[in-house]
């Protein structure tokens, strides 16, 4: 029994040392400051929609993440960094103007779908960031805006450049 207590103490001490050491290693912050390819460069983003995007979307879907105090603690910072990187891979409002028209069109459709289905903002985010929860009016505003942006794109681009042709079934 004494042997197991010593092993337990040693493992506990090792875990504590590891936890202390990892506090000195943090990923780079997501704060580029470059707006040259922002969605606002290519599309009309009304002030109300911009406010919703800033409050409910930009922490994970832009190059401007607001970092709360708990991101100074590891491994929380690594976990949040992973969420931000995945979010930006999927959709980055700071680089939206650089997307192909087809991808922009598809992203506007995905914005509408994810908001309508309540998938965004993610619950894991809104549990802590209560201000990011979208009310019915905000959801409707985002959905109508994304539909209007898609409609605008349809007027300016041929449909075959916006939608991928499906392969015929054999």
pTM for this model (two decimals): 0.83
User: Region 60-72: what's the mean pLDDT?
Assistant: 92
pLDDT in tens, 28-62: 888 887 889 999 999 999 999 999 999 999 999 99
- What integer pLDDT is reported at residue 168 of this predicted model? 55
User: Region 92-112: what's the mean pLDDT?
Assistant: 96
User: Region 80-92: what's the mean pLDDT?
Assistant: 94
Closest listed residue to residue 102, CA positions, set 152, 32, 163, 150: 163
Closest listed residue to residue 111, CA positions, set 150, 137, 142: 142
Q: Which residues pair with 8 in a beta bridge?
A: none
């Amino acid at each position: 029994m004494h042997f197991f207590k010593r092993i337990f103490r040693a493992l506990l001490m090792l875990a504590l040392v590891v936890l202390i050491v990892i506090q000195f290693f943090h990923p780079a912050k997501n704060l580029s400051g470059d707006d040259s390819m922002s969605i606002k460069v290519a599309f009309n983003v009304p002030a109300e929609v911009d406010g919703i995007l800033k409050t409910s979307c930009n922490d994970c879907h832009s190059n401007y993440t607001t970092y709360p105090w708990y991101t100074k603690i590891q491994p929380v910072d690594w976990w949040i960094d992973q969420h931000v990187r995945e979010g930006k891979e999927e959709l980055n409002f700071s680089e939206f103007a650089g997307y192909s028209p087809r991808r922009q069109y598809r992203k506007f459709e995905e914005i509408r779908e994810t908001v309508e289905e309540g998938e965004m903002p993610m619950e894991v985010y809104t549990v802590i960031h209560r201000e990011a929860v979208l009310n019915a009016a905000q959801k409707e505003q985002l959905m109508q805006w994304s539909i209007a942006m898609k409609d605008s794109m349809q007027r300016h681009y041929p449909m075959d450049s916006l939608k991928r042709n499906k392969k015929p079934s054999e």
